[in-house]
Chain A
Amino acid sequence: MSEYAAEGKTPEVLFWVGCAGSYDARAQKVTVAFTKILNEADVKFAILGKEEACTGDPARRAGNEFVFQMSALQNIEVLNMYNVKKIVTTCPHCFNIIKNEYPELGGTYEVVHHTEFLQGLINDGRIKLKGGGEFAGKKITYHDSCYIGRANGIYDAPRSVLAGLDADLTEMQRAGSKGLCCGAGGAQMFKEDEPGDTSINVERAGEAIGTGAKVVVANCPFCITMLSDGMKAHNKEEDVMVYDLAEMVVNNM
């Protein structure tokens, strides 16, 4: 972003990478996949790089409003300094908090999640999916993240992108607005489970396995971690792959 600013240019969109997208080895692959798509579609985008910080989502949901406010106000200061208008992110938690919770702190932007952004690129013809690609006819299933689904009502965009892959999309019993959480949200990602019969991610992975799908498509770095761990618990990590929507697209365009 600073390079754009130095040249006095404005990018089409700011790509908010998020902590997972920046540091988590698995999520980095999604970050790279998404940037490849953006380059392929000739989207002029920027990242904040070292000037980006955690949005404060897990701190806020754990109850730590102080840490959240510090993070959020710093981020808003940076975003407003660069006069950012539009943000795309591959993380539903970053998406939700910047879209819904930053405005009343003085940070109002057009915020798009990458599932919607990908649908937009396809609709505008900026990228074309190869029908009959590697997933054609294969059974896949889609896991709705809570923060894209119920929290913000986005169910159709990712499914319409998947429809372009000619795959056999088999829904889990708990899908769409009834989708079962992966178990990471509300800062659960950062703590041990409370005592119970099983872990939520193991339960969800089991449900995905039950569809007979060979690929589970997710849209959230934390869901991907949780579902991948869940597959390991079922000894299915070799049989059922967990991919982000961007990874599904990048190899088939």
Chain B
Amino acid sequence: MIQIIAFAVLTIATFAIAAPKYLKIRRNILLGQDEETVVDKGLAIRNTILIALGQKKMFKRFIPAIFHLFIYVAFLFTQIELIEIFIDGFFGQHRFFSQALGGFYTVIISTIEILSLLAFVGTLVFLSRRNLIKVPRFHKPEMEGWPKLDGNIILYLELVLLIGITCMNGADQVLQGMGAEHYTDTGNFAVTSWLGPALFGGLSEGTLIGIERFGWWLHILTVFAFINYLPISKHLHIFLAFPNVYYARQTAAGKMVNMPEVEKEVRSMMDPDAAFDESAMEEELPIFGSSDVQQLSWKNIMDAYSCTECGRCTSVCPANQTGKKLSPRKILMDIRDRATEIGEKLDSGDKQYIAEDKRESGEDLSAINFNDGKNLFDYITREEIHACTTCNACVEACPILINPLDPILRLRRYEILTESAGPSDWTPMFTSVENSGSVWAISDDRDKWRDELLAKED
């Protein structure tokens, strides 16, 4: 009975503490501008099945993909055991599904055990890739400090989970062999039927029950900790990968998002009949492009929260490979960190974060009147966004359809259109395109090559 009450209290506490954290992430994502990204729902569903559920793009790199698959499939299947733990925990049952499923239960738990064993191998491989082999993409400047620790914490938690399952099932198998009360025969599990006796054989019934309970609680407590840890971790991708793939933009990778507000302006400039609109002149100068997360698309922000910092984008980026400061992964991490910063400041309600010119009105702090005197350029330097060749390698590399290129281009637009800044090298090109219709200011006729060709033929 005490266990049931403890379980119920902990479950409720876990979700009560975690729910606001997830809602805040949702709120932070929705700080962005609306954008309809899904045109074809069938394609979005197919992508979700193939790319998110089916891990298709992961397999562009086979070795990490296969070990990731072990952990991922083990995670999916273990949910069955987790549901059972919840039923057992709330109703004081023991292995509730075993009575209902009989022999099939043995198959399910055996499958989970084999997958757990594979996940164990995968976890060790990943820990060694991060800490021993030092795969370069895990050791870029943006991976120092918390991101590095975060990556390892997840893997250690994974090991703790596996220890829990092994204790729970292993002791259970030995107890069954001893004919202990409540420990009904579930048949032999694939791994713990031999690992259990090897580890725990010869121990007293009381000790074994202690180990079994320890394993059971360790498992569920780690899950509870996980649920609360995810919102501050890159590991959030286990949930967000699915909606992120579903809502991925479906246009050709080469297509840039249009700016209808600029199009409208240019059309009215080009139209000789258009009356000069004086009211437009009196308005505050509009902001073009993005300097902060509120001017990004909501999908840019979801991309940022979905990123698990694997660094495939950075490892294929031509700028990064040739020693430039740009790292597409860092751009995503910066957007996420800035969105989180804004979220935390909004939660503080502190009126010092209200834009100065709106402070007098007595309004409460909100996303609309927010201004903390900072923006994304406090995280991302000009040098980074200037180094991009728009080659789409990062977009192509991401296993969950994150687009690091789009926010880079939005920042460039802000720099050029709103600040009238940017690399001075570009100014002659802009002037030339505008005035002579060519990227180079050449006074020759555009079809001079043709005249020369015809002259030669004569």
Contact = CB atoms under 8 A, between A and B. Distances in A.
Contacts of B429: 58-59, 62, 187, 190
Nearest to A23: B442
Interface in B308-357: 316, 318-319, 321-326
A92 B396 CA distance: 18
A78 to B, nearest CB: 11
Interface stretch (B263-271, B277-285, B295-303): B263-271
Nearest to B405: A186
Contact of B416 (A31, A49, A63, A183): A63
B288 A65 contact: yes
Interface residues of A, number: 68
Interface string B405-430: 00001001111110000110110111
Contacts of B417: 63-66
Contact of B433 (A47, A71, A73, A101): A71
B256 interface: yes
B64 interface: no
12 contacts: A17-B449, A21-B449, A53-B438, A54-B438, A63-B422, A74-B270, A151-B254, A151-B392, A177-B396, A180-B321, A190-B429, A191-B386
The dominant DSSP class at the A interface is helix
Given A191-B425, A200-B322, A63 B289 contact: yes
A203 B252 contact: no
B255 A183 contact: no
Contact of A32 (B262, B434, B439, B453): B453
Contacts of A250: none
Contacts of A198: 322-323
Nearest to A178: B316
B36 interface: no
Nearest to A149: B392
A62 B252 contact: no
A150 interface: yes
Contacts of B253: 150-153
B437 A53 contact: yes
B389 interface: yes
Interface in B438-456: 438-440, 442, 444-450, 453
Interface in A83-98: 96
B395 interface: yes
Contacts of B390: 61, 146, 185-186
A194 interface: yes
A23 B436 CA distance: 13
Contact of A200 (B255, B319, B442): B319
A192 B383 CA distance: 12
Nearest to B381: A194
Contacts of B259: 65, 69
A55 to B, nearest CB: 9
Contact of A54 (B422, B437, B445): B437
Interface in A143-183: 146-147, 150-153, 177-178, 180-181, 183
A186 B389 contact: yes
B387 A101 contact: no
Given A50-B446, A185-B391, A203-B321, A62 B430 contact: yes
Contacts of A203: 318, 321-322
A100 interface: yes
A67 interface: yes
Contacts of A19: 438-440
Given A54-B437, A63-B416, A71-B437, A17 B322 contact: no
Given A69-B263, A180-B321, 17 more contacts: A19-B439, A19-B440, A49-B445, A61-B409, A62-B426, A63-B417, A64-B426, A70-B270, A71-B433, A96-B255, A105-B258, A105-B263, A147-B254, A152-B254, A185-B391, A200-B389, A203-B318
B114 interface: no
A158 to B, nearest CB: 17
B393 interface: yes
B316 to A, nearest CB: 7
Given A49-B447, A61-B256, A194 B263 contact: no
Interface centre among A49, A71, A196, A199 (most CB of B within 10 A): A196
B375 to A, nearest CB: 16
Interface centre among B254, B265, B389, B448 (most CB of A within 10 A): B254
Nearest to A25: B449
B388 interface: yes
